[in-house]
Chains A and B, each alone.
Chain A
Amino acid sequence: MALNPMEQFTIKPLIAEPLFAIAGHPIYFTNQALLMILVVAASSLFLTLAVKPGRLVPNRAQSMAEVSYEFVANMIHSATGEDGLKFFPFVFTLFMFVLCSNFFGMIPGSFTVTSQIAVTLALACLVMGIVIVTGFAKHGFRFFMLFVPKAPIYILPLLVVIEVISFCSRPISLSVRLFANMLAGHTLLAVFAGFVVSLGAAGGLFTGLAIAPLLLIVGILLLEFLVAFLQAYVFAILTCIYLNEALHLHDHH
């Protein structure tokens, strides 16, 4: 067992040779790639195979699929209204990808895809890209009114600066929130697991003491399951809120 709690975040090629190169960058088949494929395969298989449209009374698996569908649909509807529903496939994909990545990361010995800043930042940039494209497509240059809140004219310059900074920091906050949560939780688990191992190996009285961090791990593990869901939810709901602003500017507040 690796005692370095950061070891679990190392991306390791599962095939030593790069598969190919894109613009000079070698592309490997890594543990993270395997997990991404598993996540995507599991969620797409689950959501397609569990559901039979003719089934009047859903079984357990179909209920789960329908609940997640309606959960995301309601989220979009409440945050952006009727016209936000055209983003449903995107938000649903985002939510399921993050959720399944988080949960697959909870399997001991696996890899947490969302504990990589490259992944979360790419997803956040995708979200902001869609927000910006939507905003300009719907409002043209009036989209810049997003940075001009309703306020007395003499404090407007200050507010505009604040709004611009807040808008530009969104991809950072969106990505770092998910990344840091996953990273911190898994690090904490590894640290306490390391305590259990070293105390257990110390022998004598220390072996008995190893029960304390073990119990703590159980608690943190439960908390981590909550965080895994919560962070996927937060990522999706913030996406909806940003999309709402792009669709309705400040009209909807």
Chain B
Amino acid sequence: MAEPVSTTATTEAPKKEGGFPPFDTSTFPTQLFWLVVTFAFLFTVMWRVAGPKINSAITNRRGVINGAIAEANKARTDAETAQAGYEAALATARARANALAEDTRQGLNAEIAKAKADADAQAHHAMQDADARIAATRETAKAAVTAAARDAAIAIVERLTGDKVSAEDAASAMGN
């Protein structure tokens, strides 16, 4: 290895072989010079170019993502509003349908009740007629039976006694 002998101006003695290189102070000016140059350069790049660039990339993306999230939220709100509108319309329609059904049912019920009442009245009327007819028939039948019995009694008496009994007597005799 060709060791550099950098003793031109420094007070440092030429480096001995086997010395500890990091503590060789003759190299310090060179090290510090290059450190300052390179570090300052890197700092300028970071400060003026790389930092702002990366920062804008990150902020850009964050902006896009936040925008997309806001858009999605808006879409969801819109959808929810639309659904609420739809549900309200559905509820109104359902209420109207129910009301209509109720009206119809009540109308029909009233009609049915009226028809039933009419029928009842008719039936009652018919029954009364029938009852009257039955009563009349019964009376006629009863009278006919009485007359027949009287006639029979008169005939019996006439056959047994030969007497002619008047119809009135026969009737009174039968207690009738």
Contact = CB atoms under 8 A, between A and B. Distances in A.
A22 B33 contact: yes
B25 to A, nearest CB: 8
A93 B42 contact: yes
B35 A25 contact: no
A27 B33 CA distance: 7
Contacts of B61: 56, 58
A117 B20 CA distance: 11
A37 B34 CA distance: 8
B41 interface: yes
Interface of B: 1-4, 6, 8-10, 18, 20-24, 27-35, 38-39, 41-43, 45-47, 49-51, 53-58, 60-61, 64
Interface of A: 2, 4, 6-7, 9-13, 16, 18, 21-22, 24-28, 30, 32-33, 36-37, 39-40, 43-44, 47-48, 51-56, 58, 62, 65-66, 69-70, 88-90, 92-93, 96-97, 115-119, 122-123, 179, 183
The B contact surface, by secondary structure, is helix
A48 B60 contact: no
Contact of B64 (A56, A90, A93): A56
A25 B1 contact: no
B80 to A, nearest CB: 28
Chain A contact residues: over half helix, strand or loop, or mixed? helix
Q: Which 7 pairs from chain A and chain B are nearest by CB?
A: A25-B29, A47-B50, A89-B47, A44-B45, A33-B34, A24-B9, A9-B21
Contact of B6 (A6, A13, A52, A53): A13
A84 B136 CA distance: 123
Contact of A30 (B34, B43, B64): B34
A27 B30 contact: yes
11 contacts: A24-B9, A27-B30, A28-B4, A37-B34, A40-B45, A44-B41, A44-B45, A53-B53, A58-B61, A66-B58, A93-B42
Contact of B38 (A22, A40, A48, A89): A40
Contacts of A9: 21-22
Contacts of B51: 69, 88-89, 92
